[in-house]
Structure 1
Amino acid sequence: MEKFIVEGNQPLSGSIEPAGNKNEALPVLAAVVLATETVKLFNVPDILDIHSMCGLLEDLGIEVERIGPNAYSFNPSSLKHHDLKPDKASAIRGS
């Protein structure tokens, strides 16, 4: 969709917050392993693929904390280097 066309005599005002998108969030979550400091992410969708990715990050030693609705904190200071569990990794269906 390129644009919205609004017809009528009433002026519009206000703001909206777009919903989080898993295909945008998953690569950002993966990038947490490259961080050297705590990372906080907001507007993260509350869906199974995100929960699965958080589980993978925890398996790697990253501390994952839910700090609010659709908000997470990731502390990579305890990152361990080992292989991901294939069954968990294959459960994520990102594009």
Structure 2
Amino acid sequence: MSTRTPSIHDRIVAIIAEQAMLDPAQITPESSTADLAIDSLGLVQSILAIEEAFDITIPYNVNEPEKSDFDISSVGRVIEAVERLIAQRA
């Protein structure tokens, strides 16, 4: 009997769902932080939790988001960016 390891997608959705106080099933790749009613503090907490979960550093400055190479426009974009960071680390 094998235990399925949660995918990157599932782990990120779970982190974002926790911050947004939503059921993960309510979150789609197209969902934006605005759609999910995540404020700037929730966004920072999500980013910190994602960094900790995947042992990565996300190049995002909440004070200057327009200068970031990390796209937070949707959950799908966050997942893609995290996957790239993990691949670069390997």
- Same fold flag (TM > 0.5): no
| Higher strand fraction (1 or 2) | 1
Higher alpha-carbon Rg = 1
Give the structure with the higher percent helix.
Answer: 2
